[in-house]
Amino acid sequence: MTHRITALRENLANEGCGAFISLTPATNQYLAGFSGTTSAILITPDEALFLCDFRYTEQAQEQVRGYAITEVKGKLSERLAEAVSERRLSAVGFEPQYMTVDEFRALQANAGSVFTETPELVSSLRRRKDESEIALVRAASELAESVLVDLLPELRPGITERELAARFEYEFKMRGASGPSFDTMALFGARSSLPHGQPGDRALQEGDVVLLDFGCRREGYCSDLTRTYAFGRIPGGWFQEIHELTLAAQRQALEAVRPGVSCQEVDAAARDVISNAGHGSHFGHGLGHGVGIEIHEAPRLNPEATGVLEAGMVITIEPGVYLPGQGGVRIEDLIVVTQDGCEVLTRTQKELEILAP
């Protein structure tokens, strides 16, 4: 992790800060390699300090490299503030989007008003994945897809959304993942029109839409994938229409992906296809987002997005069309932005498929 500490120090100088602190698990995993849920780091131009309590000391000694590891007692934010105060640091950068009000008050109470908001300091580094990170995302994606391939033939009338979601998450862990990267979505019939619906007790019936949105976390990195099927038979011409439309929109977006293209432009490539077909009001969420240590990272692809794509970014491309009370379709791939386009990590078929009951 020393190369990441070096890159952060370069960013600190550009921000006019003398140090950086973090209490955030995802940031601390990225900068220190620590996978536990409670820790703190302090990085100055010539020192890297890692703080944790008794529960995590042994784990930190196994995982953390390039830091002086210190076991502390009491409130971690207070101990971190004391470390800042002891070193007489000023202009200490932190990520305001991750810090709670309680943590910030504890820092100020114990170290004074020396803290500077630097929301892009680490996220600017995390946007672009190195080869080792891409390999971990690819492995998580392959594991999740293997579960999909094995479970689809087992679908039978009567299984509930909740049961199917639980099967996915059980298989993730049985195959080596630490768990899902987010709560698995399994939605049947008209409930597939809920973009972020929670699985319930709806039982699968012939002629249902089956929308599956899932991913797993493996070795600290996430995957994300959505596929939409018909079970037994196509529920109607409307479903075939919006499935073909969603797939066409996704293909247009994939063709638009390359370094230097704005995130807004890629979003528009898909959104225009759907809007021109009269379904603009039925696609209300962004086209995609970054994926890595967290399931939602920078960059974001939506109509208000800023910034451009860069080689090494790992993002989703996930247009959808949702007809309230009738059903919906979302097709999502996980991709890596390359020097001349993109590599699609997701391999599972996305053309219209009718699952046998």
Q: What is the CATH number of the domain that holds 202?
A: 3.90.230.10
Q: How many domains does the chain have?
A: 2
- Do 192 and 297 belong together in one domain? yes
Average per-residue pLDDT for the chain: 97
Task: With beta carbons less than 8 A apart as the criterion, state whether 310 and 128 touch.
Answer: yes
CA distance 98 to 22: 9
Residue 113 pLDDT: 80
Q: Are 335 and 188 found together in one domain?
A: yes
Domain shared by 339 and 233, yes or no: yes
Cα 62 versus chain centre, distance: 26
Q: Are 28 and 135 found together in one domain?
A: no
Note whether 222 and 243 are same-domain residues: yes
| 310 in the same domain as 284 | yes
Q: Give residue 1's pLDDT.
A: 75
Q: Is the pLDDT of residue 343 over 90?
A: yes
Residues 156 and 64 in one domain: no
Residue 236 pLDDT level (bands cut at 50, 70, 90): very high
What are the tens digits of pLDDT across the range 129-147? 999 999 999 999 999 999 9
- Mark which of 102, 125, 148 sits at the end of a domain: 125
Q: 210 in the Ramachandran plot: left (φ > 0), alpha (ψ -120 to 50) or beta?
A: beta
Report the residue count for the chain. 357
Instruction: List Cβ neighbours of 259 (8 Å cut-off, separation of 6 or more).
Output: 308, 309, 310, 311, 337, 339
Evaluate if residue 13 carries a pLDDT over 90. Answer: no
Note the pLDDT of residue 167.
98
Same structural domain, 79 and 163: no
Tokens of 13: 């100088």
Q: Are residues 232 and 93 in the same domain?
A: no
pLDDT of residue 308: 98
Which of 97-106, 171-180, 204-213 is the least confident region?
A: 97-106
Q: Provide the residue range defining the domain that includes 349.
A: 131-355
pLDDT digits over 38-82, tens only? 999 999 999 999 999 999 999 999 999 999 999 999 999 999 999
Q: What is the pLDDT averaged over residues 321-325?
A: 97
Same domain, 63 and 178: no
What mean pLDDT do residues 182-192 have?
A: 98
The reply to whether 135 and 251 lie within a common domain is yes
What is the tens place of the pLDDT at every residue in 80-101?
999 999 999 989 999 999 999 9
- pLDDT for position 112: 84
Last residue of a domain, one of 125, 154, 170: 125
For residues 140 and 101, state if they share a domain. no
Give the domain-ending residue among 97, 125, 153. Answer: 125
CATH of the domain at 72: 3.40.350.10
For residue 313 the two structure tokens come to 């970014």
For the chain, give the percent of residues with pLDDT over 90. Answer: 97
High-pLDDT (> 70) share of the chain, %: 100
